[in-house]
Amino acid sequence: MSLIQLHDLYFKPYISSNEIDRIIESLVEEVYNDLPKNEVPLFVGILNGSFLFAADFIRKFNRNCEVSFVKLASYQGTESTQIVDQLIGINEDLTDRTVIILEDIIDTGNTLQKIYEIFKNKHVKELKIATLFFKPEVYKKELPINYIGKSIEDKFIVGYGLDYNGHGRNLPSVYQLTSKPNMKNIVLFGPPGAGKGTQAEILKDKYNLIHISTGVVFREHIKNETELGVLAKSYIDAGDLVPDEVTINMLKEEVNKNSNANGFIFDGFPRTQSQAVALEDFLAEKGEQVNGMVALEVPENLLVERLLERGKTSGRSDDTDESKIRNRFNEYNTKTAVLKDFYEEKNKYYGVNGVGSIEEITARISKIFDTL
Ligand code: AMP
């Protein structure tokens, strides 16, 4: 899940659709177990926010029930200046019925109080309240809430029926308000030998960013013979990718070491779809995002030449042997190249001609960095 923007505000992932599903399941179970066997309850969803919650709730309620939706409307009373509240949409005779209100969220309890007042003279047998979310810090009333899905902190949320100025209701999960992202995070992309490392070293100073090269971090681990280094060595020597889980955890650790950074240049990461998704999730949790992927485009025959040339001095075991180099391209073409689509879909892909002098290429990349 990524950071999202609605109107002028940013929201970060907060409660996943799977968690919502589990919350509703246990709410349904509680309600179900409290009801006498032959009781046919009337569920009343409060519009607009509860439409998804109510739909999912009653779908899981495996017994006879009735369903209705109401909207709370305030209007100016004719005889006084007092605001009068009314429920629009209740046509059923509620006498002696068990009514269960389905609310998406209860915060101050003002709406809840209005509902209680309106139902006071409807002669119901029992009125119960089930709410998906509840904000205990701001709830000011004594009124009972019979069923609470999840208590949450007092921060503005959207999604799963809840909106910000009309937007966000259709999101399948819930997001929490966060401040505007303030990092510049760029994925420097391209096949082995495209010049990512060289360019990143220049750009990190120019833009005051932290350069993380997963290849470099791996090679340090190998040199220091750490557990991670021992694990990664066989993959790297063969020109294979190191398994995702290992790489992702290492990347997170490197980012967390620099939590006050202006932003990062990711070089050699992500290299697979699941690494890209993990990076998205990880940054979104921090209220940050990838601003863009800048890709160095270089023809493959030129790259092999460059790598063999580099192998003469780099001391890298994977630069010396043409078959290992070919395998790295194979890994790139089968697992990594798809990331172009991943970022293109988000309008975050920027291709740059990677053939030319170092300075020329820096200038081309800088033009893009300046806009991100
Ligand atoms: P590089 O220095 O970026 O060319 O990376 C050298 C080698 O390190 C690669 O061929 C892989 O074996 C390993 N490696 C670096 N980054 C990653 C990554 N994101 N995922 C998996 N393996 C990686």
Last residue of a domain, one of 178, 194, 215: 178
Beta pairing class for 292-297 and 184-189: parallel
- Same structural domain, 37 and 154: yes
For residues 193 and 155, membership in a common domain is answered with no
- 164 secondary structure, DSSP code: B
357's tokens: 């002098």
Where the chain has pLDDT below 70, the residues are 74-84
My answer on whether 225 and 272 are in the same domain is yes
CATH number at residue 232: 3.40.50.300
Closest CA to 103 of 168, 150, 156: 150
364 catalytic? Reply is no
Q: What is the pLDDT of residue 162?
A: 97
196 and 171 assigned to the same domain = no
Q: In this structure, are 206 and 99 located in the same domain?
A: no
Number of structural domains in the chain? 2
Ligand 1 centroid to residue 301 C-alpha, Å: 20
Q: Which of 211, 214, 252, 254 to mutate to test the pocket of ligand 1 (most atoms within 8 A of CB)?
A: 214
Active-site residue identified among 135, 150, 219, 271: 271
Same domain, 356 and 222: yes
Q: Are residues 119 and 227 in the same domain?
A: no
Is residue 140 domain-shared with residue 65, that is, in the same domain?
yes
Question: Per-residue pLDDT tens for 29-82?
Answer: 999 999 999 999 999 999 999 999 999 999 999 999 999 999 987 666 555 566
**What is the β-pairing status of strands 66-76 and 126-134?**
unpaired
Domain that includes residue 71, residue range: 4-178
Q: For ligand 1, which residues put their CB under 6 angstroms from it? A: 192, 214-215, 218, 235-236, 239-242, 247, 268-269, 271, 275, 318, 328
63 catalytic per annotation: no
Query: At 272, phi and psi to the nearest 5?
Result: -140, 165
Which of 158, 178, 198 represents a domain boundary (last residue)? Answer: 178
Q: Distance between CA 191 and CA 295 in Å, rounded?
A: 9
Same domain flag for 232 and 359: yes
CA atoms within 13 A on the CB side of 289: 19
Indicate whether this model's pTM tops 0.75: yes
CATH code, domain carrying 174: 3.40.50.2020
**Rounded Cα distance, 89 and 87, in Å:** 6
| Both structure tokens of 247 | 């790489």
Domain boundary among 143, 178, 213: 178
Are 121 and 34 members of one domain?
yes
DSSP assignment of 103-159:
EEEESSSHHHHHHHHHHTTS--SEEEEEEEEE-TTT--------EEEEE--SS-EEB
Are the CB atoms for 105 and 49 separated by under 8 Å?
A: yes
Active-site choice (316, 335, 348, 364) = 316
